[in-house]
Structure 1
Amino acid sequence: MSLLPAALIDGVMYAAWLFLVAVGLTLIYGVMKILNMAHGSLYTIGAYTAITLVTQWLAGGSEPLFSYVLLIVAAVITGVVLGIIIEYGLLRHFYREEPVVLLLMTYAVFLILEDAVKLIWGVEPYVAYEPYGLLGNFTIGTLSYPNYSFVIVGAAILSGVALALFLKFTRYGKLLRAVIHDQEVSKAIGINVQRYFLYTFIVGAMLAALGGALTAPTISVAPGMGVDVIVLAFAVVVIGGLGSLPGAALGALIVGLVRSFAVHYWPEVELFSIYAVMAIVLAVRPKGLFAAAEPRKI
Structure 2
Amino acid sequence: MLMLPAAIIDGIMYAAWLFLVAVGLTLIYGVMKILNLAHGAFYTLGAYVAATFVGFWLAGDYNPYYSYLLLLLAGVIGGLVLGVLVERGILRRFYKEDQVVLLLVTYAIFLILEDVVKMIWGVEPYVISQPYGLLGSFNIGLLYYPNYNFVILGAAILSGVGLALFLKLTRPGKLLRVVIHDREISMALGINVQRYFLVTFVAGSILAALGGALTAPTISVAPEIGVEVIVLAFAVIVIGGLGSLPGAALGALIVGLVRSFAVHYFPEVELFSIYAVMAVVLIVRPMGLFAAAEPRKI
Which residue matches 1:268?
A: 268
Which residue matches 1:297?
A: 297
Which residue matches 2:277?
A: 277
User: Structure 1: how far apart are the matches of 2:75 and 2:93?
Assistant: 26
Cα deviation for residue 21 of structure 1 reads 0.2
**SS of equivalent residue, structure 2 residue 144:** strand
User: Structure 1: how far apart are the matches of 2:236 and 2:289?
Assistant: 11
Cα deviation for residue 140 of structure 1 reads 0.6
Which residue matches 2:131?
A: 131
> How do 1:33-52 and structure 2 match up within 5 A?
33-52=33-52
* TM-score normalised by L of structure 1: 0.99
Which residue matches 2:83?
A: 83
Cα deviation for residue 296 of structure 1 reads 1.5
Which residue matches 1:180?
A: 180
Matched residue type, 1:147: N
User: Structure 2: how far apart are the matches of 1:72 and 1:93?
Assistant: 31
Q: Structure 1, residues 23-62: CA drift from partner, whole Å, max 9, x if none? A: 0000000000000000001000000000000010111111
Cα deviation for residue 297 of structure 1 reads 1.6
Count of aligned pairs between the two proteins: 298
Which residue matches 2:62?
A: 62
The answer to whether structure 1 residue 210 and structure 2 residue 233 are counterparts is no
Q: Structure 1, residues 205-236: CA drift from partner, whole Å, max 9, x if none? A: 00000110000001100111100000000000
Which residue matches 1:159?
A: 159
Matched residue type, 2:281: V
User: Structure 2: how far apart are the matches of 1:245 and 1:259?
Assistant: 21
User: Structure 2: how far apart are the matches of 1:16 and 1:79?
Assistant: 20
Q: Structure 1, residues 126-169: CA drift from partner, whole Å, max 9, x if none? A: 00111111100000111000000000000000000000000000
Q: Percent identical across equivalent pairs?
A: 78
Q: Structure 1, residues 59-80: CA drift from partner, whole Å, max 9, x if none? A: 1111111100000110111111
User: Structure 1: how far apart are the matches of 2:186 and 2:198?
Assistant: 16
Matched residue type, 2:172: Y
Cα deviation for residue 295 of structure 1 reads 1.2
Matched residue type, 1:268: E
CA RMSD of aligned residues (A): 0.5
Where in structure 1 do 4 or more consecutive aligned residues deviate above 4 Å?
none
The answer to whether structure 1 residue 233 and structure 2 residue 229 are counterparts is no
User: Structure 1: how far apart are the matches of 2:155 and 2:98?
Assistant: 35
Q: Structure 1, residues 251-286: CA drift from partner, whole Å, max 9, x if none? A: 000000000000000000001000000000000000
Cα deviation for residue 2 of structure 1 reads 2.8
Q: Unaligned stretches of 5+ in structure 1?
A: none
* TM-score normalised by L of structure 2: 0.99
User: Structure 1: how far apart are the matches of 2:5 and 2:97?
Assistant: 50
